[in-house]
Structure 1
Amino acid sequence: MLITCDNSMQMGYIYLMPNESTDEYTLDKSDIGLFYDVNSLSIPRIKWLGMGQSLSQMRLATKTYREAVDNAFHCEYWNDLDSEGYMIGIELYLTEERLLPLVAHQAFKLYDVRWRNRDFRVLTLDAYHDVLNKNNVIYPLSPEKDAFVIVSIDSLSKVGKIMALISARDDLYPLDYLQKPLFMLANSSRCFSEN
């Protein structure tokens, strides 16, 4: 899974689906190796059937994510959806200071869970206790209710932040893709200080 962070622009993008345009990204073009052993980076896969109970304690929206954007909340930047409403990627505010702790604490994890009498995978994009905050809202991505996102909505600004992807669609969100992280850090502070 490709996760980019341009520290000079304070922007990032998380590619949730495989994309041919991402082939240009390789670890030798990333500054992440200045901070971590790139061979040790992983997205763990964990079976946690009890997570379904935590998900059930959150509000499940009746509107799809697409219907809720600019009505129930606003996007921080923009998140790309396909024609059916499935999320392709997430554009977000992301700095080196934000990315490095997420990587260090393995905030990016893939959980096998049972929820709504069905098997799902949950890809967390933040610390799991923030992801499973009962104030977060779960939005279906399509009327089929086979993929969802967990959104944290700031009560003052009404800006929604994607905290996790919940999916039963291995065809759209393949496990082998989600489990292989490619952290592309550009313009890191360490890179500039060494020049």
Structure 2
Amino acid sequence: MLITCDNNMQMGYIYLMPNQTTDEYTLEKSDIGLYYDVNSLSIPRIKWHSMGQSLSQMRLATKTYRESVDKSFHCEYWNDLDSEGYMMGIELYLTEETFLPLVAHQAFKLYDIRWRNSDFRMLTLDAYHDVLNKNNVIYPLTSEKDAFVIVAIDPSSKIGKIMALISARDDLYPINYLRNPLFMLANSSRYLSRD
């Protein structure tokens, strides 16, 4: 899974679906190796069926994510959806100071869970306790209710941040892709300070 962070622009992008854009990125072009052994980076896959109980304590929105944007909450930047409403990628404010701890503490994890009497995969994009905060809201991506996102909504600004993807659509969100980390850090402060 390709996750980019440009420290100069303080922006990042999370590619939830594989596409041709991801082919041009390689770890050799990333500054992440200045901080971590790139061979040790991973996105663990964990079976935790009872995690669905935590999700059941969160509010499940009746409207889809697309229907709720700019009504229930606003996007930080923009999140790309396909024609059906499935999320392809997330554009977010992301600095090196935020990105590196997320990588170090393996905030990016893939869980096999049981929820709503079905099997799902949940990809966390932040610290576990922040993802499962009871104040977060779960939005279905389509009326099929086979993929969802967990959104943390700031009460004062009404800005929504994507915390996790919950999916039963392994065809759209392939497990092997989600488990293969490609952390692209550009313009690292450590790299720039070596000059």
Shorter-chain TM-score bucket reads: over 0.9
TM-score by length of 1: 1.00
What does residue range 78-117 of structure 1 map to in structure 2 within 5 Å?
Answer: 78-117=78-117
Tell me the equivalent position of 2:44.
44
C-alpha deviation, 1:112, in angstroms: 0.2
Query: Match of 1:15, as an amino acid?
Result: Y
Tell me the equivalent position of 1:8.
8
How far apart in 2 are the matches of 1:39 and 1:54?
Answer: 33
Unaligned runs of 5+ in 1: none
Unaligned runs of 5+ in 2: none
C-alpha deviation, 1:56, in angstroms: 0.2
Q: What do you get for the CA RMSD once the two structures are aligned?
A: 0.3
Tell me the equivalent position of 2:169.
169
Q: Deviations over 1:54-98 (max 9, x none)?
A: 000000000000000000000000000000000000000000000
C-alpha deviation, 1:17, in angstroms: 0.1
Q: Could you say what secondary structure the match of 2:191 adopts?
A: helix
How far apart in 2 are the matches of 1:94 and 1:120?
Answer: 27
C-alpha deviation, 1:21, in angstroms: 1.6
How far apart in 1 are the matches of 2:72 and 2:44?
Answer: 33
What does residue range 50-65 of structure 1 map to in structure 2 within 5 Å?
Answer: 50-65=50-65
Runs of 4+ in 1 over 6 A off after TM superposition: none
Q: Deviations over 1:76-132 (max 9, x none)?
A: 000000000000000000000000000000000000000000000000000010000
How far apart in 2 are the matches of 1:4 and 1:33?
Answer: 14
Tell me the equivalent position of 1:75.
75
Q: Could you say what secondary structure the match of 1:9 adopts?
A: coil
Aligned length: 195
Q: Could you say what secondary structure the match of 1:52 adopts?
A: helix
Q: Could you say what secondary structure the match of 2:192 adopts?
A: helix
TM-score by length of 2: 1.00
